[in-house]
Amino acid sequence: MAAFKTLDQLDAKGKRVIVRVDLNVPIEKGEVRDATRIERIVPTIRELLDKGAAVILLAHFDRPKGKVVPEMSLKPVAPALAKALGRPVTFVFTDWQDGKGLAAAKAAKPGQCLLMENTRYHAGEEKNDAALSKIFASLGDAYVNDAFSAAHRAHSSTEGIAHLLPAYAGRAMQAELAALEAALEKPKRPLVAVVGGAKVSTKLELLGNLSGLANVIVIGGGMANTFLAALGNPVGKSLCEHDLAQTAKDIVATAKSKSCEILLPVDCVVAKEFKAGSPHRVVAIADVGADDMILDAGPRSVAAIKAAFDRAGTLVWNGPLGAFEIAPFDQATNEAARYAAQLTKKDRLVSIAGGGDTVSALNQAGAADDFSYISTAGGAFLEWLEGKPLPGIQALTGVET
């Protein structure tokens, strides 16, 4: 990765610093339900305020599609941010055409924190409109991107503005990039990747990229059924993309040609229906019945996964190993995640995980806190693993998109 500047290179005193953050948090009845993303950006904001800067926060919320939608205002986020920060946060309403944002930013004093209204209230945001980028840039003297989760979008507040001001990575962004570099660019080998989820079709590019990088790819979840069926195994009534059988075979062949081992389940937990308390049993893959549904990996499969973790230097995890939302089909994910967490705690493994279902599954297993790094970025994390360039990152490094 090309070099990027961090807060260590920014003399913030007396400056108005624009910080792009991710505040796309769950809100229920006007209150923030999960403040994880807010907590991640606190170190950057606090450091800049302590250095004597006025901080101007830019963020999007939901998809108002260029219109002012009151239900998609960032105003309810301001109290939660102030609580996490331990300092006042002033919310500024603007439709980005009324000049109110610029007036508020120019009046901001050192030590003040302003939260601007939803950047997507302006139709130019998602189009990376040059005129809107200039409006954003006029708010301050320097730009800091602390929203890795939005870095895969070439928007005015993530990419366009970074070419108009001195640009830096915030502390959350810096930590994310360091973790991902350790995972894929300079991993301690062997590198093991866990790729799970419902469908192979959503992970084709990921598997293609990882097959050239990883030493072992553990395939789990519903997508494993597609591989099992393609290799001639019975999958009964399980979720399976039979039309992708040849694609699955090609992935296995490509991985083999690159000396990458594909680890598939050898046994599984089956039931007649997917619901809590459904009668279930463990069977060998070859013994899956015509009316069975494969809902989790079995104990022998988990043992093989643990053995792969034992040999690994680095683990990258995206997607659950089974239908973890309902017990007992969460067992494989829980057991494997806890084992990876134990190895990490003993400094025997560098473990990095990300993606919506992945974070939920690892939290449910009680393993997330002991992983080396958990990414809260969904699409950006996945695109990074797929090997795609991220416009918001390239802009920080001076690389033209």
Structure tokens at 40: 């991640």
Kindly state whether residue 206 falls inside one of the protein's structural domains: yes
| Same domain as 95, residue 31 | yes
Kindly state whether residue 363 falls inside one of the protein's structural domains: yes
Indicate which residue of 208, 313, 356, 387 is catalytic. Answer: 356
- Boundary residue ending a domain (141, 174, 207): 174
What is the model's pLDDT at position 401?
A: 43
What is the model's pLDDT at position 387?
A: 87
**CA pair distance 157, 20, nearest whole angstrom:** 7
Kindly state whether residue 398 falls inside one of the protein's structural domains: no
| Same domain as 154, residue 40 | yes
350 close to 152: Cβ distance less than 8 angstroms: no
| Same domain as 198, residue 167 | no
| Same domain as 124, residue 20 | yes
Indicate which residue of 37, 120, 171, 203 is catalytic. Answer: 37
Q: What is the DSSP letter of 327?
A: T
Structure tokens at 68: 């002012």
CATH, residue 42? 3.40.50.1260
| Full domain range(s) for residue 112 | 7-174
What is the model's pLDDT at position 43?
A: 98
Kindly state whether residue 2 falls inside one of the protein's structural domains: no
Indicate which residue of 199, 338, 345, 348 is catalytic. Answer: 199
| Same domain as 329, residue 218 | yes
Phi, psi of 58 (to 5 degrees): -115, 135
| Same domain as 305, residue 192 | yes
- Boundary residue ending a domain (152, 174, 196): 174
What is the model's pLDDT at position 355?
A: 80
Kindly state whether residue 332 falls inside one of the protein's structural domains: yes
| Same domain as 305, residue 231 | yes
What is the model's pLDDT at position 341?
A: 98
With tokens 């005129």, the residue in question is 131
Number of domains in the chain: 2
Q: Which of 277, 329, 325 is nearest to 302 (CA)?
A: 329
What is the model's pLDDT at position 87?
A: 97
Which 3 state secondary structure label does DSSP give 293?
strand
| Same domain as 82, residue 26 | yes
Phi, psi of 234 (to 5 degrees): -75, 140
**CB-CB neighbours of 13 under 10 Å:** 10
Amino acid found at 156: S
Kindly state whether residue 1 falls inside one of the protein's structural domains: no
Residue 208 a catalytic site member? no
| Same domain as 132, residue 272 | no
| Same domain as 350, residue 254 | yes
**Distance in Å from the first CA to the final CA of the chain:** 14
| Same domain as 226, residue 118 | no
| Same domain as 124, residue 209 | no
The pLDDT profile of the chain, 401 residues, written as one tens digit per residue, is 568 899 999 999 999 999 999 999 999 988 998 888 999 999 999 999 999 999 999 999 999 999 999 999 999 999 999 999 999 999 999 999 999 999 999 999 999 999 999 999 999 999 999 999 999 999 999 999 999 999 999 999 999 999 999 999 999 999 989 888 888 888 999 999 999 988 889 899 999 999 999 999 999 999 999 999 999 999 999 999 999 999 999 999 999 999 999 999 999 999 999 988 889 999 999 999 999 999 999 999 999 999 999 999 999 999 999 999 999 999 999 999 999 999 999 999 999 999 878 988 999 999 999 999 998 887 888 888 888 889 999 999 875 54
Kindly state whether residue 267 falls inside one of the protein's structural domains: yes
Residue 356 a catalytic site member? yes
What is the model's pLDDT at position 1?
A: 52
Question: SS in 3 state form for 177-233?
Answer: HHHHHHHHHCCCCCEEEEECCCCHHHCHHHHHHHCCCCCEEEECCHHHHHHHHHCCC
Kindly state whether residue 182 falls inside one of the protein's structural domains: no
Which residues pair with residue 375 across a beta bridge? Answer: 354
Chain-centroid distance of CA 36 in Å reads 12
What is the model's pLDDT at position 183?
A: 83
